[in-house]
Chains A and B, each alone.
Chain A
Amino acid sequence: MTQFLQTLTDGLTVGALYALIALGYTMVYGILKFINFAHSDVFALGVHLSIVIASILGIKALGDTGTPPWYMGALVLVLAMLACGAIGFLVERLAYKPLRSAPRLNVLITAIGVSLLFQNAGQLPWAFGVSPRAWPTLLPDGELFSIAGVKFRLVHAVVLATAIALMLALQYLIFKTKLGSAMRAVSFNTRTAALMGINVNGIISFTFVVGSMLAAAGGFLYGVYYGGQMKQTADSMWVMLGLKAFVAAVVGGIGNVRGAVLGGIMIGLIEFFGVQYVSDQYRDAYVFAILILVLLFKPEGVFGKATVEKV
């Protein structure tokens, strides 16, 4: 029972992380109808930029004594989000905007190109290098409380709270503001939205910025949660993480913001329970097995609605 609850806690926390990344995939897909392959690399950039920003702010790596005040961590998060938002904006303007009317396959290939570019540019000696980098100590690694042997650590609380706060903010942005209704309109029908006087290109850029900021937040929280050494940007683990988040978006019904959150949590739980109760060896296989099953039996996702392809 204790083990069950502990797995539940861990799965939920990591699921919230997946959900943050899945939101970026689902928003871009909702508007441009293509998979932004470079999203997982923005996530990896978020991790590495957080480390760089923290070191600029004078926060030392693990092993040094003492932790900085809490607002320093928040500052790192905000700065990393801003940096990744700017990167997302540039990528959209330079790589995707010229292809607005191109076939989707071309955009997909471009996205793969952008992904490869980030992975390998991030490895250059003047960028982040090839050796793993230590995650700075931002939080005291304490146990908040434990109920019936289930450890609920401070990082669980921080990751969950930040992720939920960001998701609520996004929910507000999309469903309660004018900008949000413009985003929904563009996603619903781009041409009609343009006829209604919505600046479509502006909205698309904004969507990329928001998605990239969420990815950066996900990267930051990933670092906070796992800590230790962060692998180089071209390491396949980042792509795997991104793929899991993408699977979460598909499971939740791609293009559906609330579905992405639920899908992320589902994937997190499935992964952790699979590892705990079946086998650790096939960790990455579970998620893809789920993806294939969902695509076969309910391709519009668990929370999506089916569409009919028209000529």
Chain B
Amino acid sequence: MVRVTHLIEQARSKQPSRLVGVGATLWPMVLAVAVGLLMYLLVGPAIGQFQSKILLVIGINIILAVSLTVVNGFTGQFSMGHAAFMAIGGYVAAGVVYYGSLKLFGDMNFAGGRLSHVGAADFVGPLIGKGDFLFLAATLAGGLFAALAGWVVGLPSLRLRGDYLAIVTLGFGEIVRVLLQGTQSQIQPWEAASLGKDAPVWKLPLMLGGPQGFNLLPTYTTLYWVWLWVVLTLVVVYRLKNSSEGRAFLSVREDEIAAQAMGVNVTSYKVRAFTLASFFAGVAGALFAMDIGAINPTDGGFQRSFDIIIMVVLGGLGSISGAVVAAIVITLLPEVLRDLAQYRLILYALALILMMILRPQGLFGVREVWDLALFKKIFRRGGDA
């Protein structure tokens, strides 16, 4: 008895103080804002407009690849419908921003501050405008709706074994595409005065543009917003991997039956992974839609899902830094291989096949870049003792 109380006492004394807890919650957000500002204010202007655009796409792809890592890498499931969740997030966010602007500000024009303005240098206005809050809310709404969709899809279909799940998620992506194509055309800006004001709110979610896509969205996405979310995604997924929850994810991947025998609720963890990954996919979709200024039903099709899968597989199923590296490389590759454009996808395909034969765990496997011997040699002389 004394021994037990002693142990409890010991555990209590080791528990971090509340202040540390608050710090642990806050510092990623501070870091995210700092990185976002750094990218937007310093890196972006320094590398020029075209390169900034690529840096932005890299960021979106990192969010997509890292979030898919949670499902395909950690839990060892095989989702082939990640782009569908991205499209859901994109459409929800687009709807919120487009029709939200109409209802709140009276028109669908851009209402952001400097941080959301792509050509920041020549823009006069406050750092943060009223539109930015709407955009942030839209991004969160996109993420939450995608997460909800992930949960709804996940609950029934995750009882299925690996390759069936792949097919179901692929099918889900196609259903999303078909449903989006079935929506009515959007209220155009020039109809806003006559039609938009009176349109009932419940009807607006049905007017998402149909096969033509949802166009003429105000573009809020800048390097700031993208890299803010990149940092948040990375922190969440990294912490997840190293938490006991993350161990449970990995145990599902390693051996479902053994995990179940150890008391891990396999289905529940699969659904959790799916929901979390869908959230970030939805966020990426929101960023994507408000970067291009349009989103199409085909953006959720399997071609894009395949692109994300390639990033995750090449980087190493389960490696966060691997997914980041692969996302960067695969985004840059088309720029480098411009002359070989028609061979690009053939190269990816061959890379996938050869990778599975020669190095099935991907570039990094489940390890991270800093686990590699070479990296340790350079940065921590004398090992980590």
Instruction: Report how many A-B pairs have Cβ atoms within 8 Å.
Output: 121
A110 within 8 A of B: yes
**Residues B178 and A239 in contact, CB atoms below 8 Å apart:** no
Contact A110 B356, beta carbon cutoff 8 Å: yes
Query: Which of B53-61, B189-197, B217-225, B342-350 interfaces with chain A?
Result: B342-350
Separation of A106 and B76 alpha carbons in the complex (Å): 11
**Chain B residue at minimum C-beta to C-beta distance from A110:** B356
Q: Which residue of B lies closest to A35 (CB)?
A: B163
> Are the CB atoms of B168 and A291 closer together than 8 Å?
yes
Contact with A along B293-316 (1 / 0, CB 8 A): 000000001110010010001000
Q: Which residues of chain A are within 8 angstroms of B28 by Cβ–Cβ distance?
A: none
Q: How far is the CB of B81 from chain A (nearest CB, A)?
A: 11
A124-B342, A236-B302 as given contacts; A295 in contact with B164, CB under 8 Å: yes
Interface size on A, residues (CB 8 A): 49
Q: Which residues of A contact B317 (CB under 8 A)?
A: 105
Nearest to A114 among chain B residues (CB) is B353
Q: For the complex, give the distance between the alpha carbons of A121 and B346 in Å.
A: 6
Q: Which of A99, A102, A112, A289 contacts B306 (CB 8 A)?
A: A112
- Of A113, A125, A292, which contacts B353 at CB under 8 A? A113
When distances are taken between beta carbons in the complex, the residues of chain A under 8 Å from B303 are 236
Residues of B within 8 A of A247 (CB): 167, 171
Q: Does A120 contact B (CB under 8 A)?
A: yes
Within 8 A of A (CB), among B170-196: 170-172, 174-175, 178-179, 181-182
Q: Flag if B164 contacts A110 (CB, 8 Å).
A: no
A35 contacts B353, CB within 8 Å?
A: no
Residues of chain B contacted by A234 (CB below 8 angstroms): 345
Instruction: Say if the beta carbon of B157 comes within 8 Å of chain A.
Output: yes
A246 to B309, CA, bound (A): 21
A4 at the binding interface (Cβ < 8 Å): no
Q: Which residue of A lies closest to B253 (CB)?
A: A105
Q: Nearest Cβ distance between residue A154 and chain B, in whole angstroms?
A: 33
Q: Is A275 an interface residue (CB 8 A)?
A: no
**Interface membership of chain B positions 344-365, coded 1 if the CB is closer than 8 angstroms to chain A and 0 otherwise:** 0110111111001100100000
Residues 76-120 of B, flagged 1 when their CB comes within 8 A of A and 0 if not, give 101000000000000000000000000000000000000000000
Complex CA distance for A114 and B354, rounded to whole angstroms = 10
Cα separation A289 to B174 with both chains bound (whole Å): 11
Scoring B76, B171, B351 by chain A CB atoms within 10 A of each residue's CB, the highest score goes to B171
Closest to A29 in B: B163
- Indicate whether A117 sits within 8 Å of B167 (C-beta atoms), given known contacts A102-B356, A109-B356, A112-B306: no
Contact partner of A105 among B78, B157, B160, B306, CB < 8 A?
B78
Contacts of B350 in A (CB 8 A): 113, 117
